[in-house]
């Protein structure tokens, strides 16, 4: 429960509602590539655009991992929970921050929500956090 409260604070502090998309948002291909990688359960491709250190929460556990460790942890998770469909629900870009929210519909079990947070550094968008949230 505590991590859910932290996640809600993180989301509200990251991108307040009602803000317009940033003029220097990444091209649509950026989101399409990430969505396709999620749908194909290819966490190496998702984390290809990750920072050196990535905040990850999955199964109620939260930690900061190297890109390689995060890839291993998340790939093991999606291997156990194969996707039937991935639907992007929200994409927001504001200044040097971004958020992608996707509904991850599993072949078995209730859908999950993936929250991917981005930071723009040195003109490059990097994934710096990925949170997998089960339904309430």
The answer on pLDDT for 4 being more than 70 is: no
State the Cα–Cα distance between residues 9 and 81, nearest whole angstrom.
27
Q: What is the pLDDT of residues 26-82, one digit of tens each?
A: 888 888 888 899 989 999 999 998 999 999 999 889 999 999 999 999 999 999 999
For residues 51 and 67, the answer to whether their CB atoms sit within 8 Å is: yes
pLDDT of residue 23: 63
Confidence class for position 22, pLDDT limits 50, 70, 90: low
pLDDT of residue 15: 39
The answer on pLDDT for 3 being more than 90 is: no
Q: Select from 14, 122, 19, 3 the least CA-distant residue to 59.
A: 3
Query: What mean pLDDT is reported for the chain?
Result: 84
The answer on pLDDT for 9 being more than 80 is: no
Phi, psi of 73 (to 5 degrees): -60, -50
Higher-confidence position of 9 and 94:
94
Q: Which two tokens stand for residue 31?
A: 């989101």
- Residue 54 CA to its chain's centroid (Å): 10
pLDDT of residue 69: 97
Mean pLDDT of 78-100: 92
């Amino acid at each position: 429960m505590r991590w859910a409260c932290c996640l809600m604070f993180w989301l509200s502090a990251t991108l307040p509602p009602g803000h317009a998309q940033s003029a220097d948002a990444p091209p649509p291909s950026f989101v399409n590539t990430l969505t396709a990688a999620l749908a194909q359960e290819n966490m190496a491709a998702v984390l290809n655009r990750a920072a050196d250190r990535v905040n990850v929460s999955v199964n109620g556990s939260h930690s900061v991992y190297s890109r390689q460790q995060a890839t291993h942890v998340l790939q093991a998770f999606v291997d156990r929970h194969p996707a039937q469909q991935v639907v992007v629900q929200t994409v927001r870009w504001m200044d040097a921050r971004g958020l992608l929210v996707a509904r991850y519909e599993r072949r078995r079990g209730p859908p999950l929500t993936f929250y991917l947070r981005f930071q723009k550094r040195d003109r490059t968008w990097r994934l710096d956090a990925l949170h997998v949230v089960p339904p309430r």
